[in-house]
Amino acid sequence: MAAPDRHLAYRPDIDGLRAVAVLPVLLFHAGLGCTGGYVGVDVFFVISGYLIGSLIVRECESGGFDFGRFWVRRIRRLFPALAVTLAATAVVSTFVLIPTHLEDLGKALVAQPLLAANFLFWSQSGYFETASEYQPLLHTWSLAVEEQFYLFLPLILVPLLKRGRKPALVATWLFIVVSFAWSVHATQRYPSASFFLLPSRIWELDLGLVLALLARPGLERPLANEIASWAGLIAILVPVFFYDATTPFPGIAALAPCLGTVALIHANSGAPTTLGRILATPPMVWIGKISYPLYLWHWPVLVLARYHWLGAPALPLAIGSLALSFLLAWATWRWIESPVRERRILSRTRPLVLTSVACSLALLAVGAIYDGKDGFPDATTVSSATPSPDEALLEGFHAMRAWERKGAPFIAGSRDPSAKKLLLWGDSHAMATLPVLDDLGREHGVAVYAACEPGNIPLFGTRSARIALDGADYEPAVRALLEAEHFSAVLLLARWPVYLEGQAAAARNYLLTDAEGKVAKESEAPGLLRERLGETVRELSAKGLDVVLMRAVAHQPLDVPGTIAQARARGLDENAFALPLTEHEKADATVNRLLDEALTGTEVKILDPRPLLTDSQGLYEMAREGRGLYTDSSHLSPYGSRQLRSLFEPLFTSLQEAKDAP
């Protein structure tokens, strides 16, 4: 994303191409259309590979390549604008973010000088997940990818170029093939790692490097260049408008924007095409020139504005944030980036390097303080927004993956060998109800066997894609448990909607699979859920078991502990940003209708937890009596689970009465 080097022939069309790359990214992040605007980053990768590759090739072949000078030049191009953005973000965040999120910012600040931002965000959350909206520096993952690439590129490319361009081309194509193959595989198997980490992105940067090594002035015929140029633009814009957060990415989906960028650059390498002249117009060039600081500024501005004005109308906030981003980008380019790049400021290498090191250490120190001090919490914003350590799920709990190692399932409630037995079968949402089920089990003499595994839907004949990709299948273990123990009832509990929805590109997919573990299309998932649920219930009923199913608790639009803390910090009611129950009912209508259809004609009892989490005015609460009901945006906290006591108690009462009956 660096600006073109002055030692290369300046191409205004490439600045215009940068504008084509950065504008969709901004619009996507601002929620103003361009659902696939994130592919602009991939366009940047190809441009960067071409420009930096051209520079290395030129210097090597002129006998003047110097490793130290190369990396110093990267510092001169990239670090000044980055340092200013990081410093400003840290200062503003101190006054805006709650302690938990300020602590996360501290980790991100520490990761920057270590070139490890992409590793940090990979380990924390997916790029498209809700939690990412609290990360003002999330977008720096792409800078880390480039920095890592250019840390190693000269070490590999320069020795090869000493033998000529052919060995360099062969090696580059080898990297492209291997990296692309890994990208395709990892996008399905390890989507978050594929999105954030360098191995699955090398091929994109190397496509630009291939152009630099070939160094041909476009295609032979002008008409062919015209066609290639427009075809390249279409290959970029189609993903911009037709991809979305659920598109598996990068992998095969990244081919179109990357090859489109290659076509545009190559077609305009000689005489400019019609499109090349359009890209070289002053407005496009101006946006392209400020594209690097614009990319740096837009995300923290958007995040902090949304954070500070939580609940404000989205459209004016987005437009205002982008306008401010353009202003800050122009100012940074005018007074920071250009003077340093043109050596009007810090013209000598030693002062530049020392200043950069000092700034890096300062940012690292600030980040370490934020992280080490847990974001400077105070009693007014923390306390009971999140569960305390003594509110852990249940001591000794283990999920299904640990059954073999532990030798048995986890049992909550009564430990009396003569107790009635209830099977709780479900995913992490079932796990979240264990505190109240444990309480009731102890009081009513019921042993609750927990057949719970995150991402595992409680149905026979299907799995979620997440479980299938892990190579796991927990159905045999459930069947074996049903045969080994005499259960009186089964409670099916899951976040049902998630198994019908395609997940974000950098997150694991929970869509249902067929019997062989093949992921169903999103359009096929509802029918599969209805069919498999009906079959499961009929099979369980045939075993003489009472079957109870709980609808999913409502998915909150925001992270609940963080939102409660924000409300407290502003002196607002803890439920200031909660939605009415009617809104959640609309969101869950489709899946609940499917559940009802599947259970028609059965004796299954359906439990609905949502009314118990709703106040007398119809507001679906985030907190009650000063305590958070959720641990995130969808999982109940231990306190929240205990609000469902009256929902489950009739089941436990009936089991106790059956035990006590003569």
| Sheet architecture: strand order including 410-413 | 410-413, 446-452, 420-426, 489-493, 546-550, 605-607
**506 versus 342: which is more confidently predicted?**
342
Q: pLDDT digits over 298-323, tens only? A: 999 999 999 988 877 889 999 999 99
The CATH architecture assigned to 391-554+588-613+637-660 reads 3-Layer(aba) Sandwich (3.40)
Q: What is the mean pLDDT of residues 505-528?
A: 79
* Residue 541 contacts residue 534 (beta carbons within 8 Å): no
**Which tokens sit at 580?**
């009415």
pLDDT of 420 strictly over 60:
yes
Q: pLDDT digits over 227-259, tens only? A: 999 999 999 999 999 998 888 899 999 999 999
- Where do the CATH 3.40.50.1110 domains begin and end in the chain? 391-554+588-613+637-660
What percent of the chain stands above pLDDT 90? 74
Residue 571 pLDDT: 84
Close Cβ partners of 574 (under 8 Å, ≥ 6 residues apart): 564, 567, 568, 622, 623, 626
Lowest-pLDDT range, 110-124, 145-159, 340-354, 560-574? 560-574
Residue 623 pLDDT: 94
Average pLDDT, the chain: 90
Residue 311 pLDDT: 75
Q: pLDDT digits over 82-109, tens only? A: 999 999 999 999 999 888 889 999 999 9
What is the Cα 405 distance to its own chain's centre?
A: 32
**Residue 375: CB atoms within 10 Å:** 23
Side chain identity at 32, as an amino acid letter?
L
* The model's pTM: 0.87
Lowest-pLDDT range, 138-152, 517-531, 540-554? 517-531
pLDDT of 524 strictly over 70:
yes
pLDDT of 131 strictly over 80:
no
pLDDT of 417 strictly over 90:
no
Q: pLDDT digits over 1-28, tens only? A: 444 344 578 899 999 999 999 999 999 9
Residue 374 pLDDT: 63
